[in-house]
Amino acid sequence: MGALTLETIRRAPKVLLHDHLDGGLRPATVAELARESGYAKLPTYDVEELARWFVVDEPGADLVRYLQGFAHTTAVMQTRDELERVAHECALDLARDGVVYAIVRALLSAMRQAELSETIAQVAVDFRDEGVCGFDIAGPEDGFPPTKHLRAFHLIQREDFHLTIHAGEAFGLPSIWEAVQFCNAERLGHGVRIVDDLTEGPGGTRLGRLSSYVRDRRIPLEVCPTSNVHTGAAASIAQHPIERLRRLRFRVTVNTDNRLMSGITLSSEFADCAAAFAWTLEDVQWLTINAAKSAFYGFTDRLALIDGVIKPGFAALRAELEPGREV
Ligand SMILES: [Zn+2]
């Protein structure tokens, strides 16, 4: 079989665990909502120019520059109507991209540098039966360790609720260690700096204690390759640690992070990785099942998703692409 095309990947059933609502608006919607609400600070109201402005891909860009676009997107997401429109369009855009499960069931993120984490954790718990599936913290890692938010994490744990933490993106192992061992993160947002705990030797790759723990416990890594390139956490897709981690069989998942700021879709992200690492449809399926197993979703629902949607979807695609082959 030849290289995987974007179109084939788009038709495959996919699962998305890490996609920020305020990082995935349509540029036209940003411009329209800004006009309607009288928000005057957009750099341009021309939709194409705006789309280009949001994509931060100049060399040397870092996380802080990357986060600037959010001042504009959050400014036009302040009313119930605005939020409903953005969430509705997000669900439509993901469905059109072949995403069969996404955190459009909301996962509430607090910011590391702010003081609101406990309040947001409580809101997440209060609305767990109305579509909220868990809690997260995001934002700059350096200087804002996750242990600053222990009260929020303990609240989530006391309530038997779900927790993921952005850790190991721009910052290294201490951030991952705190997230896993002090805060009890069930998943790691990014987590790719876990490669700092790997050493190459004559006998192959050696895992240190933390990376062994993360792999042994099957702690999911919500990897976002293009986002990492745009924030300077990786030099290019081809040099991104996702392939090394996948080959070592960490619980790797592929995610978009911020579709607007990275100018991507989940399908394009898979296609770029497939081109760089010669991924097959089987590889895409393995990564998708990893994501489905890691979703903050009931066990029987996850099984139904995997056995009723993902496996048959990939089997049908394989049968079409390779007629005559056992699927
Ligand atoms: Zn993120």
Cβ neighbour number for residue 142 with a 10 Å cutoff: 12
In a 13 Å sphere around the CA of 172, the CA atoms on its Cβ side amount to: 5
Catalytic member of 32, 36, 49, 169:
169
Q: Rounded to two decimals, what is the model's pTM?
A: 0.94
Residue 53 in contact with residue 129, Cβ under 8 Å? Answer: no
Burial category of 308 from C-beta neighbours within 10 Å (exposed 0-12, middle 13-18, buried 19 and up): exposed
Reduced to 3 states (helix: H, G, I; strand: E, B; else coil), residue 184 is coil
In this structure, the chain runs to a length of: 327
- Regions of the chain short of the pLDDT cut 50: none
Instruction: State the distance from the centre of ligand 1 to the C-alpha of 19, rounded, in angstroms.
Output: 7
Q: Which two tokens stand for residue 158?
A: 């006391």
Tokens of 321: 């692409």
Q: Output the pLDDT for position 172.
A: 87
Q: Ligand 1 centre and the CA of 54: distance in Å?
A: 16
Q: Residue 17 Cα, ligand 1 centroid: separation in angstroms?
A: 10
Note the pLDDT of residue 59.
Answer: 55
Cα 185 to ligand 1 centre (Å): 15
179 CA to centre of ligand 1 in angstroms:
15
Distance 189 CA to ligand 1 centre (A): 6
pLDDT at 115: 87
Best CA proximity match to 46, nearest among 68, 33, 31: 31
49 is catalytic: no
Q: Identity (one letter) of the amino acid at 159?
A: E
Residue 218 to residue 180: CA distance in whole angstroms: 12
What pLDDT, on the 0 to 100 scale, is given for residue 147? 87
